[in-house]
Structure 1
């Protein structure tokens, strides 16, 4: 399974999950944008960085690394990336780092040279095998699903879906979590088609229901507006109304296009060219 990409998608879709894993309030994620950051001078890429928005009460930057294969020099690279980032961004107020391992045996032997970092309150190590199964958290459940063996994956996925459906149908997060559960199963069973997996999980009929379609579209609208706000600033009410009238396909297209926006005029031009009927 391509763990880097699935974790990136999870944190991009629902950044609150990181803070759930750390036993903190998921509401903390409202002040952050999750992205990857490239340090071009030496071709380093930090796959997961939670960057605080300018008006966030806390300006702490969170570095996140998912490590599913044993690498004896992992910490050398990880801390090098962090300190290079800090060198290139001297305006950084504070930082925290999180390393996610599937199990303790994957972690490199304790590197004495990094004891100051690893014993500090700035570095957090999460071992998915140690997660408490009794914790009522969809985020923790997603992490457990990723490391579940093949024999238990479908059963765990169905259990999670049964929890999500009654709890989240009035919340845009409902559709997003369902999509993440399905995506994890798709990654774990690459020999099966998405249609086969939807059938196994009992999603085929559910996805046709009005409540699912509305929740999914509302979630897309919320995500696009949030990304636009961070990309080009506050969106005028009349532009928000136009975005809310877009079809699902148009919303997904806007989500791709906005990555190239640099000013509000780019959004205005896009909407003029892709005006909803």
Structure 2
């Protein structure tokens, strides 16, 4: 489950709620969700949300696990440089860790190297007071991950508030996100006791996740077949080449399955991959 992208969905659907929470002040200006492409290699930005207000950009990055490659501090510096180069305005950066951990990586708040320091904010959800999150329906999914003497009581309170949301579409989507993120902290049996599963299944975000899961499953199945065929024809496939193969779309893998019948050595595979843009 890609929990990071669930939070990205929430931030892009309800940007004013996230700005109010992160800046602790009323939102008096229009907020624009930027679709700036930041996924240049070797740094990907799958769960990055960029919100532009009148005088600055809020860059939010959601992380389930704190360890990554490249490391998060380097990524934040890289994002800042790219954003500042393009927009030339202040950039406020916040990394939000979702799942409780003792990893040192979750407690680092700056990039440091000789002659270079870059700071950013870090929010560890398990340390957060849930009060502000409970006050805004759009933030209820994050509230289930907040600090609590009784996590179960907190989940029950969130369930009650979700049940009281009047707009049906918003109720469906918030409920789906609550149930999915609650999986980081609670047993599935308890979640099912407190929430109506049919509401989650009717939500846009849940349907999108299911569809992406189906597509991912198809891609993984096609990749496994292609790897077996290539290994049989060319021998051991180097790990770097396997990584490149994993980035191919299902259609590209299907095309490769046909093309490899004419391969006689690894150079043929390399040339084919280069013809695909890599």
Measure, in 2, the Cα distance between the counterparts of 1:205 and 1:67: 28
**Which one of the candidate residues 170, 190, 193 is aligned to 1:200?**
193
Match of 1:162 among 160, 171, 183: 160
Q: Deviation of residue 30 (structure 1)?
A: 4.6
Q: 2:276 aligns to what?
A: none
**Offset at 1:35?**
4.5
Say whether the 8 Å CA contact 1:61–1:95 is kept in structure 2. Answer: yes
8 Å contact from structure 1 (residues 37, 45) kept in 2 = no
Distance 1:112 1:186, change over 3 A: closer
User: What are the residue-to-residue correspondences of 1:152-191 with 2, within 5 Å?
Assistant: 152=151, 156-166=154-164, 168-169=165-166, 173-185=170-182
For 2:141 and 2:193, the matched residues in 1 are separated by 18
Task: Say whether the 8 Å CA contact 1:39–1:85 is kept in structure 2.
Answer: no
Distance 1:85 1:206, change over 3 A: closer
Match of 1:5 in 2: 5
- Please, which of 38, 61, 64 is the counterpart of residue 65 of structure 1? 61
Structure 1 position 98, deviation (Å): 0.6
**Pairs aligned (count):** 193
Please list, as runs of the form range in 1=range in 2, the aligned pairs for 1:20-59 lying within 5 A after superposition. Answer: 20-25=20-25, 27=27, 30-33=30-33, 35=35, 37-40=37-40, 42-46=41-45, 47-52=47-52, 58-59=54-55
Give the TM-score of the pair, scaled to structure 1. 0.52
Compute the displacement of 1:97 (Å).
0.5
Please give the alpha-carbon distance, in whole angstroms, between the structure 2 residues aligned to 1:24 and 1:45.
Answer: 29
Where does structure 1 lack aligned partners over 5 or more consecutive residues? 208-212, 218-277
Structure possessing the higher radius of gyration over alpha carbons: 2
Comparing 182-191 and 71-80, the one that deviates more = 182-191
Unpaired runs of 5+ residues, structure 2, are 205-278
